[in-house]
Amino acid sequence: MALLAWPSEVAQMLQTTLATNLTPYGFAANDVYYGDRDPVKFPAVTIEVVDMPIDVRFTSRTVRKFAAYLMVYYGNYADAEATRLAADIQAENVCKVLNVDPQWKDSGGNQRLIKGWVTRLQPGYAKRNNAILYAARITWEAESQAPL
């Protein structure tokens, strides 16, 4: 398998990996969404690949950099310290899964990225369907190479 070249490939890789590896943390496989949307149930993760600059100095193998925002939705806001803590821990669990393998090898051990890692975790709140939700935005960045 070659290194990934396009945002849709990266987003699908993130979705598949998270859907598989977040189940020990209380997520169902269908709780990881391609594209930001209103979650049906909680916890849920949405994935948006937001940027892809291409370095064209070397046209035979260009460097491609990816950035993705992942929103982790924990549930409806409640004035409780324990709920905020649980929401933060759930977001940290998503970060752990994202950082397990910086090269994102496939099941055959083939490298899919040069490197990829979480660069920012921002706990906070989101408004969806007139409800306030516990949420966290995770910024994940990666680098790959592909022919132009």
Count CB neighbours of 90 within 10 A: 22
Two structure tokens written together for 76: 């409806």
Cα four-point dihedral sign 18, 51, 105, 114: negative
- In whole angstroms, what is the distance from residue 105 CA to residue 65 CA? 17
The chain-wide mean pLDDT, for the chain, equals 90
**pLDDT above 60 (res 48):** yes
- In whole angstroms, what is the distance from residue 143 CA to residue 92 CA? 22
Average of pLDDT values for 62-77?
Answer: 91
Q: What CATH number did the domain enclosing 31 receive?
A: 3.30.2000.30
> Are β-strands 44-51 and 32-34 bridged in parallel, bridged antiparallel, or unpaired?
parallel
Strand partners, 118: 140
In a domain, 117, yes or no: yes
Q: What pTM was estimated for this model as a whole? A: 0.89
Q: What is the pLDDT of residues 9-19, one digit of tens each?
A: 999 999 999 99
Total number of domains constituting the chain: 1
Give the pLDDT band (50/70/90) at residue 37. confident
Average of pLDDT values for 39-56?
Answer: 87
Host domain of residue 29 = 7-146
Count CB neighbours of 44 within 10 A: 22
In a domain, 25, yes or no: yes
In a domain, 2, yes or no: no
